[in-house]
Chain A
Amino acid sequence: MTSRAPVSPAEMLARPVTRIRLPGDPGSTLTRSRAPGRIVRILSSVLVAGWFLLPFVPLGLWAFANDWSFPDVLPGEWGFEGAGSAIRQGALPALGNSLGLSLVVAAIATPVGAMAARALTFGSVPWPRAVGLALLAPIALPPFAAVMGLNVILLRAYIPPAAGLVLVLVVMALPYTTSTMRVAYAAHDLRYEEEARTLGASRWNVLWRVHLPLVAPALSRAAFLAFLVGWSDYVVTLIVGGGEIVTLPLVTASMAAGIGNDAAVAALSLSAIVPPLVLLALAGSAWPRRGQTTNPALRSRGEQE
């Protein structure tokens, strides 16, 4: 979309016409006013962007408000007392725990999901439909219901809370990684790998030099989604973690449930928003956009969808 001219032919032809226009017809679509459509478009974009940005406003204000008494529209005194109070509540170790947990979940769920997706796309998996459904099923599973039941099993099997937590979160991330990678493998041309094998590359070489580079953008998307599953989770960490693993959402929740912690809650919330946004910005450069990739195997993905 990015390489388009400012006004595409579709845009010019998009004026309301009552019948098919033919060459030689009087008048021209070029002379029609484009203003109303444009204004509606810009207004609705502003409205939708505002809808998405509005909840970020109180966070940005409260996080740096030392003092903000009620009727005032803006904080009376700016500062970092909210962040200080959040750190006293254990925000830093919680941030570390959150990062570690999410990275572990992404590191497991991404390759496991990719392998399953590859087998489902190219391999001869027995009962492929049932397997595909089973890998999507966690999306329909209410997390609190699953962990209330699993908690007893995990306790009786003496599985440590951290391992149980990673297990459940990996499973919750699998639908996202598997479906992302299935889309990628559907557009993946196995002949590149066969060609490399014919030319004498070892299986290992093919994996590292041909297969992984070709699916790398999809892998980064899948890993990002899996990271988000671990990063956003509250209820699984609460129940399966059993209070041993305190992540950022847990600290935020305990502060938000109290009264008068608004600045600390906002500071904690901001620290929970920034890392995924940084990752998104990093991954954004790796995500293929139409007309930007030069790799034919990647470019063809858009055509097949």
Chain B
Amino acid sequence: MSQRLRPQRSVRFSTGSPAQRRRATLLVLPALVPAVFVVVGGVGAAALQSLGLMPLVGPGRLSVDAYTGQADDLFRALGLSLTIAVASTVIAALVGMGTALLIVGGRWCGRIVAVTSAATVTVPHLVGAASVGLLLADSGVLARVFGVPPELWPSLVGGPWWVAVVAEYAWKESAFIGLVVAGTLITRVARFDETAALLGAGRWKRFRFVMLPLALPALAISSTIAFVYSLGSYEVAWLLGRTYPEPLAVMALRLFNSVTLTARPEAAAAGVLTALVSFLIVGLCFWALRKTAVWR
């Protein structure tokens, strides 16, 4: 298999004949042009707006007021967004790794875990937020089941600790991470696992020296995707969070819909900051994984 693949891979880095290059370029362009337009155009236009160069009315004027004028709010929102994203991603990575191990373990246990996590992945985040709200609110299903009156129920929804928001992200993203990691493990882990067991490795050693190293690149990538998703997501924090302090996305959308004229650049500034942090984190993940074969 690998001998057959290698020549094909080397072709990618060779120049090829002009006709081949033209053909390959034509095949890539329908995807590349819209992607570049949306990513560069979107962030670029947001950056121009935040710098006052693309006002809704009147001539543009370069200024960094949108950043300096609300620096405190921006940093508070960034801190909150990062905290929520870190908390939910850590939980999601732990649960997701466990999910992957159970799925890879096979038999009916693995089958049930695979089916439930696949069902969770298909749920839109907004629907997840609505259900977590119905579950965790002070008159929610859990409060009813435990018979706790609303005044004694901890304020999980809209409370100071953002529990419901973190729980929703952790729930959805753990299913995503679990399936991605299981997908990479299931193809190759059986043979390595059996070999290690044959050589006398116990459960812990097989996890530590076989499963974990094999799973780590996929775990890192899926966790990074989950992290930037929670960082840039709006609807969950808007529905289940409180109004102040607010995460970056909620702050940006509130300013975006505000009637004040200065609000648009401020909204764009929050967007640009979120985009920069997201790209920085994904870049760090790429850099950390540069020596693995994941990106080929």
Contacts and interface: CB of A to CB of B under 8 A. Distances in A.
Contact of B21 (A37, A124, A139, A189): A124
Contact of B49 (A142, A152, A235): A152
A186 B45 contact: no
Contacts of B37: 167, 171
Interface string B254-274: 001000000000011011101
A233 to B, nearest CB: 8
Contacts of A290: 186-187
Ordered nearest first, which 5 A-B pairs have the shortest CB separation?
A142-B232, A124-B16, A123-B24, A146-B42, A149-B46
Contact of A300 (B1, B117, B149, B281): B1
Contacts of A16: 202-203
A276 B121 CA distance: 10
A13 B197 CA distance: 6
B14 interface: yes
Interface string B2-26: 1011001001111111001101110
B175 A52 contact: yes
Interface stretch (B62-70, B72-80, B102-110): B102-110
Contacts of A167: 34, 37-38
Interface in A127-152: 128, 131-132, 134-135, 137-150, 152
Contact of B174 (A17, A51, A56, A153): A51
Residue among A55, A61, A118 with most chain B CB within 10 A: A55
Interface in A31-87: 37, 41-42, 44-45, 48-49, 51-59, 61-62, 70-73
Given A142-B231, A150-B45, A174 B27 contact: no
A23 interface: no
Contacts of B12: 120-125, 128
A140 B27 contact: no
A167 B190 CA distance: 42
A124 B24 contact: yes
A4 interface: yes
B197 A14 contact: yes
A255 to B, nearest CB: 8
A266 to B, nearest CB: 7
Nearest to B252: A144
Contact of B134 (A132, A134, A170, A266): A266
User: Which secondary structure dominates where chain B touches chain A?
Assistant: helix
Interface stretch (A108-116, A193-201, A204-212): A108-116
Interface residues of A, number: 110
A232 B117 CA distance: 16
Contacts of B133: 256
Residue among B1, B109, B171, B187 with most chain A CB within 10 A: B109
A30 interface: no
B83 interface: no
A123 B141 contact: no
B232 A141 contact: yes
Contacts of A116: 27-28, 30-32
A252 to B, nearest CB: 6
B2 to A, nearest CB: 7
Interface string B158-194: 0000000000100100110000000010111010011
